[in-house]
């Protein structure tokens, strides 16, 4: 298993133990984005069991980096519309993922 995925899963366990909803949400979303990227179109296969796509470390870093960027852009949009509380949560989510990414 990849080191980044291991760090994400360990961080999720810690966030759940600490009841940190914001961190847990960010990490779960990043893990889901990775799982989605690994998915293979079942229409391309004739069996019910479809192998997952293999992602390299660079792919995982790119996916998590995109999640960080997406949250920072969304936070700016919320700040511009005066929704600072939600913007703050998005900034915190981005910070959580960025720390794991640069870990």
Taking only the tens place, the pLDDT of each residue in 25-64 is 999 999 999 999 998 776 666 566 667 788 999 999 999 9
- Considering the entire predicted model, what is its pTM? 0.88
* Confidence at residue 74, expressed as pLDDT on a 0 to 100 scale: 98
Give the phi and the psi of residue 29 in degrees, each rounded to 5.
-65, -40
Domains parsed from the chain with CATH numbers: 3-102 (1.10.1510.10)
Q: What is the pLDDT of residues 68-97, one digit of tens each?
A: 999 999 999 999 999 999 999 999 999 999
CB 103 within 8 A of CB 7: yes
Q: What is the pLDDT of residues 4-31, one digit of tens each?
A: 999 999 999 999 999 999 999 999 999 9
């Amino acid at each position: 298993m990849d080191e980044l995925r291991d760090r994400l899963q360990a961080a999720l366990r810690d966030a759940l133990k600490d009841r940190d909803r914001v961190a847990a949400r960010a990490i779960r979303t990043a893990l889901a984005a990775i799982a989605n990227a690994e998915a293979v179109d079942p229409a391309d296969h004739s069996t019910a069991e479809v192998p997952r796509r293999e992602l390299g470390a660079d792919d995982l870093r790119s996916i998590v980096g995109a999640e960080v960027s997406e949250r920072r852009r969304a936070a700016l949009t919320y700040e511009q519309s005066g929704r600072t509380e939600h913007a703050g949560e998005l900034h915190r989510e981005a910070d959580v993922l960025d720390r794991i990414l640069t870990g």
